[in-house]
Chain A
Amino acid sequence: MTPEIGHFALALAFALALVQSVLPLVGANRGNLLWMHSARTTSIGQFILVGVAFGALMRSFIVSDFTVLNVASNSHSLKPMLYKIAGTWGSHEGSLLLWVLILTLFGAAVSLFGSNIPSSLKARTLAVQAWISVGFLSFMLFTSNPFTRVFPPPTDGNDLNPLLQDVGLALHPPFLYLGYVGFSIVFSFAVAALLEGRVDAAWARWVRPWTLAAWICLTAGIVLGSWWAYYELGWGGWWFWDPVENVSFMPWLLGTALLHSAIVTEKRDAFKSWTILLAILTFSLSLLGTFVVRSGLLTSVHAFAVDPERGLYILALLALSIGGSLALYAWRAPMMEAGGIFKPISREAGLLVNNLILTTATGTVLFGTLYPLFLEAITGDKISVGAPFFNATFVPMMLPLVLFMGVGPFLSWKRADLAGVYQRLKYVALASIIATPIVWYIQKGGPLLAHFSIMLATWLLLATLREWGIRIRLFEAPISETLRRARNLPRASHGMTMAHAGLAIAMLGMIGSSAWKSEEIVFVAPGTTIEIAGFDVTFSGVERVRGPNYLADRGTLAVSRNGQSIDTLRPERRYYPIADSTTTESAIRSTLAGDLYASISEPATENAEQSDAWTLRILYEPLVNFIWLGSSLLIIGGALSLSDRRLRVGAPKRTSASSAPSTQAEKA
């Protein structure tokens, strides 16, 4: 019965979405307040109904109702409860339901919390949001119903891929989708503004918190995914430039650009049509990601089961939403008047550079990701584009960005004083230049690019702290004065400092773990000792242990340094009989200086039980934890900025919008 309730709720939500996609829009055009406000009821109704459907599917997973096809193929009665629940969004259908749930969540949130947004803009925004709802709800109802029953029901389920039985992964899709789909509301705002033919500073301010919220979630989603790959997959890397990773990274890059260009629109009323375009493109890339993952277009380790019919349906949705919005843009954007004027050296110009670099980088990643498809279509050759391409193009592109990031916050709006900036930053520059030979000495060489990157990361970190220090007059004024200033500084400023510093710290981790990584892959028999990065690792054998739904071969490795025993690592190779698949559980000795990472993969020969020899992979990844530390700072910084009072209250009245924000900006 429950699955049918869920199915019915979905159909009702579809009906509500149909109403919401027309009525508020007509109301906004005719000035009918009642019709405009109907969006409030329907958007909240949609969220509740999709929530009911999601709850119904989750219940089927929790009670292991194998009469539901989706549960039968993606769950198993012996699976731990947490992963039964996570199984709800583990399959194509379930994850699509989560997708729509988040879509309606953002619609409902705008209805509930967007009280400062004018009725007509809100009505149009929610109508556009409903168009997306209609597209995806119909997709689900017609091609991917999560509540399909199976008869006769199987006695037990097919298990979820054991690789996916991990806390990091269980949480990764919800966050990723919150980010991905969160940009839908920004898209809706942009399309609504185009329909209305009006973009101004007030619009940018209304949009900014939603952009920021989506960006925070996307950051968290990507980091969780990366963290999962690092700890669970046993490959000993945190980013692989896999197509599916790339499609989540592109909206992030463009979303970051949007976050910054919206500041210019908000404070200086400039970059308007650019901000609108970024808003459309960011969500378009999210949609592209959804399409690539579900259509089997590219080879990837993470793709869902392929079905050409579904792919065609999503492509049609893409054509309508992306094509439609860009056509609207082509029609309306030329009519937008240019905003505030600025000099080549100013904060506006700095943010322009930020946007240009981020957009070019996004384009590069997009091109690299889709190049195999283009080439195959034109010449028939099959190739794959991997890390070397991205390392050679993306990384050098991001380095100038880091250089500018250090300077940007020092620049004032309209016209900046370069000499003054130089005065404030000369010691920072000196310190980062001095830091480089020190790192060279400690690491005894290494790639030149890595040293250059370390210099830039140091530069960014120090420049960011310096800017913050100047604002609160750290060490220049009495401590009480500094504290008072720190309290009065807008949270958005603290947030920016934290996020920029976080990026610098994450960069240190990325550089350290890729440039100075040591790796050994060896066949070991009990008693073998391997030396790596100053550690002595002794293998003492493998024993068979039994877990809740798996059997494992657990290796024991004694780690010592300079003859002193410091730790024991126990990597496992797990076999899940029901899914008939094997996973690697790496063992990690994690410190701030670096991770010692061990995994046993395969027996050295086909009959390892007799010979007891195994393939052992040991890695030392210096500074890798800085990545997670820095990323956390990015997320916390974003959240801090989101909590800024300015975004919650006191949005200016639209009539005075053009002058009010700029005066506030000077204060900030």
Chain B
Amino acid sequence: MIRILALLPLSIAVIFGGFFLWGLNPDRDPNEVPSVLIAQPAPAFELDPVVGLHTPGLSRSDLVGTETAVVMNVFASWCVPCRAEHAVLTSLAEKDGIRLFGINYKDKPEDAIRWLAELGNPYERIGSDLSGRAGIEWGISGVPETFIINTDGTVLFRHVGPIVGEGAIGKFREALLQAGALPSGGL
């Protein structure tokens, strides 16, 4: 009896060790919060265009029923990481031919226009979300965030934060490829 009792601490330690070993898996990121929207239909929303910008506004129907999966990016001129991400998105839209839509989140129209004039406008359509209502519908936790939406309107992928750096870009391209959002099919 005493022998078994004396073995108890060791047995517990071994079980804990097993869990720790599992937890060290390099692909595991405890900070990653899966979006509840993944594999769910995209939320309904309807946004007016940015006042003074010639790009049309954005609603759910623009994202659904397209020929390929599309990308929707939430951005703002006051968000510094968005500026870093902008070149990546522009290249994806112009070189790889993805269909890119934007939600301009809680931004003053004149700031947004100046920002797009300076950096270029890769977006097919931009909805102006002044109240942040669409942001709530999409459950965003900050800006920027990027979603990939399938032709039937289900959300396939969500990226929180800017798509910059090799790791993030690689992962995003991988997701685009799987979703069939890269018309050229190549990398």
Q: Bound pair: A and B?
A: yes
Contact of A298 among B6, B21, B30 (CB under 8 A): B30
Across the interface, do A326 and B16 meet the contact criterion of CB distance under 8 Å?
no
Query: What's the tally of chain A residues with a CB closer than 8 Å to chain B?
Result: 34
Query: Which residues of A lie under 8 Å from residue B30 when comparing CB positions?
Result: 296-299, 372-373, 376, 382
Interface pair A370/B16, CB less than 8 Å apart: yes
Out of A299, A312, A326, A330, name the residue touching B24 (CB < 8 Å). A312
The reply to whether A382 and B9 contact each other, CB–CB distance below 8 Å, is: no
Tell which of B20, B34, B106 touches A315, judged by Cβ atoms closer than 8 Å: B20
Contacts of A322 in B (CB 8 A): 13, 17
A284 lies within 8 A of B24 (CB) = no
Which among A273, A296, A374 is the interface contact of B19 at CB below 8 angstroms? A374
Q: Check if B167 is an interface residue, CB within 8 A of chain A.
A: no
**Contact between A323 and B13 (Cβ–Cβ < 8 Å)?**
yes
CA distance A329 to B8 in the complex (A): 10
Chain B residues closer than 8 Å to A280, beta-carbon distance: 9
> What's the Cα separation between A377 and B15 when bound, in Å?
12
B10 at the interface (CB under 8 A from A): yes
Residues of B close to A284: CB separation below 8 A: 13
Chain A residues numbered 371-395 whose CB sits less than 8 Å from any CB in chain B: 372-374, 376-377, 382
Interface residues as binary, B11-32 with A (CB distance below 8 Å gives 1, 0 otherwise)? 0011011011111111010111
Residues of chain A with a CB closer than 8 A to B6's CB: 273, 329-331, 333-334
CB–CB A315/B9 < 8 A: no
Q: Are B26 and A329 in contact (CB under 8 A)?
A: no
Chain A contacts with B in 598-629, Cβ cutoff 8 A = 606
Flag whether B78 is at the interface (Cβ < 8 A): yes
Picked from B7, B14, B20, B34, the residue with its CB within 8 Å of the CB of A291 is B20
Is the CB of B33 closer than 8 A to any CB of chain A? yes
Give bound CA distance, A377 to B25, whole Å.
11
How many A-B pairs have beta carbons closer than 8 Å: the answer is 73
Query: In the complex, are the beta carbons of A330 and B19 less than 8 A apart?
Result: no
Whether the Cβ atoms of A315 and B22 lie closer than 8 Å is no
Find out whether the CB atom of A299 lies under 8 angstroms from the CB atom of B3: no
Contacts of B20 in A (CB 8 A): 291, 295, 297, 315, 318, 373
Are A334 and B9 also in contact (CB < 8 A) when A374-B19, A382-B34 are? no
In the complex with contacts A295-B24, A334-B2, A382-B33 CB distance below 8 A: yes
CA distance A183 to B185 in the complex (A): 59
Which chain A residue shows the least CB distance to B79?
Answer: A606
B9 touches A281 (CB 8 A): yes
B16: chain A residues within 8 A (beta carbon): 370
C-alpha spacing A299/B31, complex, angstroms: 6
Q: In the assembly, what is the distance between CA of A374 and CA of B10, in Å?
A: 18
B106 contacts which of A323, A377, A606 (Cβ < 8 Å)? A606
Distance in angstroms from B167 CB to nearest chain A CB is 13
**Minimum distance in angstroms from B38 CB to a CB of chain A:** 13
Q: B19–A370 contact, CB under 8 A?
A: yes
Q: Show the binding face of B for A, using Cβ within 8 Å.
A: 2-3, 6-7, 9-10, 13-14, 16-17, 19-26, 28, 30-34, 78, 106
Q: A296-B30, A370-B19, A373-B19 are in contact. List 7 more A-B contacts (CB 8 A).
A: A295-B20, A299-B30, A312-B24, A322-B17, A323-B10, A323-B13, A330-B3
Give the 4 A-B residue pairs with the shortest CB-CB distance, closest first: A326-B10, A308-B26, A333-B6, A330-B7
